[in-house]
A and B are shown apart, each in its own frame.
Chain A
Amino acid sequence: YSFFPGEPRWPERNRDLTYAFDPRNSLTEEVKSVFSRAFVRWAEVIPVTFTRVEVFSISDIRIGFYSGDHGDGEPFDGVMGTLAHAFSPPNGHFHLDGDENWIVSGDVGGDRLLSVTAAVDLESVAVHEIGHLLGLGHSSVQDSIMYPTITTGRRKVDLTSDDVEGVQYLYGPNPNFNGSRSTPPPSTQQRDTGDSGAAGGI
């Protein structure tokens, strides 16, 4: 695991983070629930909560799908190539390439291969980018969530010990975290906290 220069993290006084979606994307609830699941995976291991709000402009984390040049100097490049990017704390911007074929699997579960290689699993990318939003850089541990590349057609959403060690270095462990995690996380929880409590395994 690695960190951004200066090891930025969300300050102690602001660990109950809010997130919202760019209203211009008109996302369905099904798409939004993919991000809820992704946030829960991180919230289970650190004392940080993520709450969805409707006011995009004032939320801590702002999620949007854009194509090509979208004003942050990091234009997207169409299908494949760069899939998404997110900024280190406390910036909170989380951008995804609107030209990708995003798979909103819905049938929650762990890592596996999707049948078609032209697809990108949205939750896999979301879990990775949330790691950046929390302050993690890229890792060279191939199975880790924070490994920069993803094989097309692959679903990779389970945090590895490398990811957990890194994020707990920044925020400490979730007091309710007992070393195991629920799989799958609840999909309909409006307030995404990590205390779903069901046992699971890394």
Chain B
Amino acid sequence: GFYPNSSAIPPDLRRNATENVWNSFMNFTGCHAGMKVNGLYKLKQYFQHFGYIRQTLPKNFTDDFDDILKNAVETYQRNFHLNITGELDELTLKHVVMPRCGVPDIVNGTSTMHNGRRRTYEVSFSGKGPRFHAVKR
């Protein structure tokens, strides 16, 4: 629904808004490689959706905290400047459950989000016409 401002949202709608579909991921706080935790496959599906696990892998994941998940967590932590531990610490999971855009962070297996800044510095001296290219080595 659309509201002119946040206080116009009916209280019951506010309440269910806190029932974020991803909130259950917070139950995985402290999990790390080698563990088997009920429901962990859903987090793997989340990481696959946003590009941290290859699309080519079958979606019927297990609940094992395996290397696939560990790598996905590390890449996610790197992209969002979190401590790169490969473990599901509270800060990482608090970030995971934040509302977000549905477009994947990683497309076709290449994560440019963290170092996406191009190494070519383009300096435009005018709105149009030739541009001066400089390449930083």
**Interface status of A110 (Cβ within 8 A of chain B):** no
B137: CB under 8 A from chain A? Answer: no
Interface flags for B91-127 (1: CB within 8 Å of A; 0: not) read 0000100111111010110101110111000101011
Which of A86, A114, A142, A152 has its CB near the most chain B CB atoms (within 10 A)? A152
Instruction: List B contacts of A47 (CB < 8 A).
Output: 127
Stretch at the interface among B14-22, B31-39, B57-65: B14-22
Asked whether B7 lies within 8 Å of A116 as measured between CB atoms, the reply is yes
Is the beta-carbon distance between A119 and B22 smaller than 8 angstroms?
no
Most buried by A among B5, B14, B100: B100
A153 within 8 A of B: yes
Number of interface residues of B (CB under 8 A): 45
B79 in the interface (beta carbon within 8 A): yes
The secondary structure that dominates the A interface is loop
CA distance A173 to B123 in the complex (A): 10
Complex partner residue of B14 from A5, A81, A118, A176, CB under 8 angstroms: A118
Assembly CA distance A177 to B128 (angstroms): 12
Q: How far is the CA of A120 from the CA of B20 in the complex (A)?
A: 13
Known contacts A85-B102, A140-B80, A148-B105; is A101 also within 8 Å of B9 by CB? yes
Beta-carbon contact of B127 and A101 below 8 Å:
no
A80 B103 Cβ-Cβ under 8 A: no
Contact B98 A103 (CB under 8 A): no
Scan residues 139-197 of chain A and give those whose CB is less than 8 A from a CB of chain B. Answer: 139-140, 142, 148-153, 165-166, 168-169, 172-177
Contacts of B4 in A (CB 8 A): 30, 103-106
B3 close to A3 (CB less than 8 A)? no
Q: A82-B100, A82-B101, A85-B101 are in contact. Are A116 and B6 (CB under 8 A)?
A: yes
Cβ of B81 under 8 Å from chain A: yes
Q: Is B13 an interface residue (CB 8 A)?
A: yes
Q: Render A1-40 as a binary contact track against B, CB cut-off 8 A, 1 for contact.
A: 1111100000000000000000000001011000000000
Known: A103-B6, A142-B81. A84 touches B101 (CB 8 A): yes
Give bound CA distance, A85 to B14, whole Å: 23
Chain B residue, CB-CB nearest to A129: B101
Task: Give the complex CA separation of A85 and B103 in angstroms.
Answer: 6
With an 8 A cutoff between CB atoms, is A132 at the interface?
yes
Could you show 18 A-B contacts with beta carbons less than 8 Å apart? A2-B112, A30-B2, A30-B4, A80-B20, A84-B102, A85-B102, A102-B3, A115-B5, A118-B9, A125-B101, A129-B101, A138-B103, A139-B113, A140-B79, A148-B101, A148-B103, A172-B128, A175-B128
Q: Which 10 A-B pairs rank lowest in CB-CB distance, beginning with the nearest? A: A175-B127, A2-B116, A118-B17, A85-B102, A116-B6, A80-B20, A2-B112, A119-B6, A82-B102, A118-B14
Known: A79-B16, A148-B101, A149-B95. 6 other contacts (CB 8 A): A115-B6, A118-B13, A118-B14, A137-B105, A149-B80, A173-B127
